[in-house]
Amino acid sequence: MIFRKLVRLHLVNDQPSVEGILIGRLGDHYRLLKCSLLEAADRSHPLDGEVWVPKDQVLLLQKLP
């Protein structure tokens, strides 16, 4: 299934959020492209390639405009 929506994944246990283009789900993982790790409002780090985030680590999936 392909979604191609910009999302922010808020993670459990005070982990930094991940923002990127949701391209699908496979098993128990969300697949994202063009991601950034958001440590704070003024601090983010781009991530290379495709990122797989386990669903059990996601507290909230927020769709972005």
Number of domains in the chain: 1
Query: Is the pLDDT confidence value at 11 over 90?
Result: yes
Domain containing residue 18: 5-63
Q: Where are the beta strands (DSSP E) in the chain?
A: 5-11, 17-26, 29-40, 43-46, 51-54, 58-63
Residues 5-17, mean pLDDT to the nearest whole number: 95
Confidence class of residue 3 from pLDDT cuts 50, 70 and 90?
low
Confidence class of residue 4 from pLDDT cuts 50, 70 and 90?
confident
Looking at residue 32, its pLDDT comes to 96
Asked whether the beta carbons of 58 and 11 are under 8 A apart, the reply is: yes
**Which tens digits make up the pLDDT trace of 41-55?**
889 999 999 999 999
Residues 17-27, mean pLDDT to the nearest whole number: 94
